[in-house]
Chains A and B, each alone.
Chain A
Amino acid sequence: MRDLFRFFFRQRNNLLFLALLGISLSLLIGGNMHQRAQAISSSNNAIGQIYLWRHDLTEFTDLRAVNQQLAQELAEERTLNHTSSTGKDSVALRVDSARKEAYKFINAQVINSTAHKERNYLTLDRGTLDGIHPDLGVVGMNGIVGIVRDASPHFSLVTSILGNEIEPSVVLSRTGHYGLLKWDTNDPATASMVDVAKYVPVHVGDPVVTRGGDHVFPAGFPVGTVIAVNDDPGSNFHGITIKLAEDLTRSGYVHIVFDLLGNERDSLEAKTALP
């Protein structure tokens, strides 16, 4: 027994090392799969507050770009309003309950983001008090951004599409063929679209949009455009590189998407799936 204690005492530093390494590795493996390690993320309130201070300090450096973005959005909104009010069946659209609003967007500010790491995250200034919960989609002014992973009362953490954790379902809007968006280019401006069979005619310049139906992104939301098609003769699928529509290296304003009809569709599908 004494020898055992002496052994532990002599090895105390090695044992401490192994214990600490074990703790961090279990966090590493468990933390990425569950929400368990919520405290160790930037949606944690104290860390969120520090990022908010930084954002308040640096915000003005982005103002020019943000202004331009807002002005352009305003212009687009006006165009849309103008066309729909002169359109013939705009009234019919409005009173038709079958066409009731399917998505709600709330705006949020990006207070921290990275784009050049292996997996990237964004911190937003909205949290559970605004109704944010994990698995909501996040879109930017020009294209999709990511999916909410965690939320605290005032902040939320978004998994960026620049990473290997999410692969949104996307579609080539010209031909209608599905595929997955995968970030394997290591470049924040581009990504790949995989699982598109070789017989599909893909051209450079084809727009890529979200497929929808995943409770996350609305269908037909812009993702990017095809800039290169490299076919490997040994594979049955195209190697498509797309330029992302949203510039994820710039923090600004984003919209969080609520799929209002998701539960209704879920229960319908669940009913049909029963034997």
Chain B
Amino acid sequence: MIATIRSNVLRFILLVLLQALVIDHIDLANGWVVPYIYVLFILLLPFDTPDWATLLLGFLMGMVMDMFSSTPGMHASACVVMAYARIWMLRALVPREGYDPGKRPIIQHMGLAWFTTYAGVLILVHHLWLFFVEVYRFDDFLSTFLRALMSAIATFILCLLSQALLSRDIRTR
């Protein structure tokens, strides 16, 4: 329990710093691809996180990102929507025998297909909300949609990469 909390706090801090200090300063394709890797924090919360905690932690993560990017409420709202969607996704994707208490929502434990559905949908929900709130209007619908989609793909690839690079389970197995 303590170890889980510690690793999640550490992940929170690392992802915030990575996003605010590195990724926000990389300009890919003239603003068409803006990955938001910090959502990985919400994706990787343990399965047995209470729903209220998921919502509050999502809100907290969004507020911290808002402080860094001077956009009050923008990331916070996107993260709250994503956290709420996660609660429903976990219910929809539950395996026949339920979630194994020893398992975490990562590829090594749940498989690539499960993780792609889970992370893909949630990242897309978050990015679509964020990009549409950011432009505040619907008149460039297609370009905003494309920007959100391409950024979501970039975020997803970064999520896969981070798991491939950082997971200990592969090496020890």
Contact = CB atoms under 8 A, between A and B. Distances in A.
A115 B31 CA distance: 8
Interface in A1-59: 12-13, 16-17, 20-21, 23-32, 37, 39-44, 47, 50-51, 54
Interface stretch (A97-105, A116-124, A229-237): A116-124
A114 interface: yes
A31 B73 contact: yes
B34 A117 contact: yes
Contacts of B66: 27, 40
Contacts of B52: 12-13, 16
Interface in A107-131: 114-119, 121
Contacts of B51: 13
A186 B63 CA distance: 26
B68 A47 contact: yes
Contacts of A20: 55-56, 58-59, 76, 80
A56 to B, nearest CB: 12
Nearest to A58: B25
Interface residues of B, number: 38
A187 interface: yes
Contacts of B87: 13
A241 B69 CA distance: 28
B21 interface: yes
Tell which of A25, A28, A32 has the most Cβ of chain B within 10 Å: A28
Interface in A200-228: none
Given A24-B59, A27-B73, A28-B72, A40 B80 contact: no
Contacts of B63: 24, 40
Nearest to A115: B27
A19 to B, nearest CB: 9
Interface string B57-90: 0110011001111111110110011011001000
Contacts of A117: 31, 34, 69, 134
B72 A41 contact: yes
A114 B68 contact: no
A40 B73 CA distance: 9
A188 B32 CA distance: 12
Nearest to B144: A118
A257 interface: no
A117 B31 CA distance: 6
Contacts of B25: 114
B27 A116 contact: yes
Contacts of B107: none
A161 interface: no
A40 B72 contact: yes
Given A50-B21, A117-B134, A25 B77 contact: yes
